[in-house]
Amino acid sequence: MLKILAGRMEIAEVQEAFSQTIRDLPHETLATAIGFQGGSFNTQVWWLASLGFWAHFGSPPSQKANWDRYLNVFGLGRPAKSVRIICEINSPLDGINNRIGGAFAADGSGRYFILHRGNFRSHGMTKSFFWHHNQGPTAETLDGSERRTLVLAMTLSSPYGISDLRNFVREVDRIKRLPR
């Protein structure tokens, strides 16, 4: 069983490893505006042409005012002047926060995992709708003192990790497109 990380330093280390995994892949850095509910912000994203998705890692823009988390956003297709977020896999800066969709976990052998709780706040998608339609892999976790099933978005250091991340982004996009 995976254990959700709660310590500030360990979460920061996994955050850095997560973003470094993307930066280490062949990519193009492109300037764009990332749109979100209520606004947009100008930034740069990493376009992974061979995988067909883009990524951005950083802090939430001041308009979002969610400084209690890392901002990890992903989308599909080559970025243009502006892009639409398909999903965010944000993690709290420290502690466990079930309102934040992303979480990092570890197993007993020191491997790290990028997980998602299935709570999305866009396109009218409820958590139950997501879980009803999700066909992606899941993982059993010890989330504080509670056992929970979370979506497995990526295993860091796995040779299949980046493909798994791309598949997670595609799965979220597929579910968002389903009729409500």
Which strands sit side by side in the sheet containing 87-88, from one edge to the other?
82-84, 28-36, 39-48, 53-58, 71-76, 87-88
Q: Name residue, tokens 């934040």.
A: 100
Question: Domain map of the chain by residue range?
Answer: 2-176
The pLDDT of 135-161, averaged and rounded, is 97
Statement: the pTM of the whole predicted model exceeds 0.85: yes
User: What's the pLDDT at 63?
Assistant: 66
Judged against a pLDDT cut of 80, whether residue 130 lies above it is answered with: yes
Q: How confident is the model at residue 158 (pLDDT cuts 50, 70, 90)?
A: very high
Judged against a pLDDT cut of 80, whether residue 58 lies above it is answered with: yes
